[in-house]
Structure 1
Amino acid sequence: MILPTQDILSLIPQRPPFVMVDTLVSSSDNTTLTSLLILSENVLVSDGELSEAGLVENIAQTAAAGAGYAAQQLGKPVQPGFIGAVKNLEVFALPKVGDIIATEVKIENQVFDVTIIKGRVICKGCTLAQCEMKIFIQPQQ
């Protein structure tokens, strides 16, 4: 579903200066789409480009935004998650300051507190990076 404009910080556990998503564009049961404008003050920007680590964190935070949105729809709090593993990471290019990236995350499998996702970062119609990721969700206390 396409979402109305919403405060991204209400959906993710990360806080500035380590926020790597701007907008939750859409979210469904298995797919989440976010966008991010690359700014020079981003902590993971170096030499005018978002680093590989920034792309990986952007994918993880896209997954977090989808999980946060789902939790909110059920009236539950947003749970922190942790990257357990990154598999088959491919980085083809780095986005530059001023670029807007779109990131798509698809849930491949979910067992208990572990979610396996595939993520892809796109800019100007080109895939910049893609990977599989295992994310552990911290259970509610």
Structure 2
Amino acid sequence: MTIPTQDILTLIPQRWPFVMVDELVSSNDDTTQTTLLVQAGNVLVNDGILSEAGLVENIAQAAAAGAGYVARQFGKPVKPGFIGAVKNLEVFALPKVGDTIETEVKIENRVFDVSIIKGKITCEGSTIAQCEMKIFIQSQQ
């Protein structure tokens, strides 16, 4: 399903300056796609290059955007999530300021408040990073 352009901050718990996604492109039951324009003011950009940590956080926030979109569809609040583990991280290239990266996250498994996802980031049609991630979603208090 294509998502109408909307304020990404309504879908993720993160706030400036630590926002690593710009737009939710699409989301369905198990796959979410987002974009990010790498900008010089990004806190995880060093010497004009988005760091490996920025790529990992981008994948996590893409997953958060998908979860936030689902929560909003059901009239529920967006819950914070935490990276529990990163597995099989491969970084093939780092994007530079001015590049737009596209991130796809697929939910592999969901048990209670834990999701196992696979994330892949592309830039100009080439895969630049991928990993598996375990994300814990904070329960309502």
Shorter-chain TM range is over 0.9
Map 1:22-41; keep pairs closer than 5 Å.
22-41=22-41
Partner residue, 2:16:
16
Q: Following TM superposition, by how much is the alpha carbon of 1:119 offset from its aligned partner in structure 2, in angstroms?
A: 0.1
Partner residue, 2:61:
61
CA distance in 2, matches of 1:25, 1:10: 14
CA distance in 1, matches of 2:72, 2:39: 28
Moved over 3 A (4+): none
* Equivalent position amino acid for 2:35 in 1: S
Deviation per CA, 1:69-100: give whole Å up to 9, x if none.
Answer: 00000100000000000000000000000000
* Equivalent position amino acid for 2:140 in 1: Q
**How many residues were matched structurally?**
141
CA distance in 2, matches of 1:114, 1:62: 16
CA distance in 1, matches of 2:26, 2:139: 25
CA RMSD of aligned residues (A): 0.3
CA distance in 2, matches of 1:36, 1:114: 25
CA distance in 2, matches of 1:96, 1:40: 9
* Equivalent position amino acid for 1:53 in 2: A
Partner residue, 2:100:
100
Partner residue, 1:42:
42
User: What is the TM-score when the length of structure 2 is the normalising length?
Assistant: 1.00
Give me the identity figure in percent: 78
Deviation per CA, 1:73-130: give whole Å up to 9, x if none.
Answer: 0100000000000000000000000000000000000000000000000000000100
Partner residue, 1:4:
4
Q: Following TM superposition, by how much is the alpha carbon of 1:47 offset from its aligned partner in structure 2, in angstroms?
A: 1.1
User: What is the TM-score when the length of structure 1 is the normalising length?
Assistant: 1.00
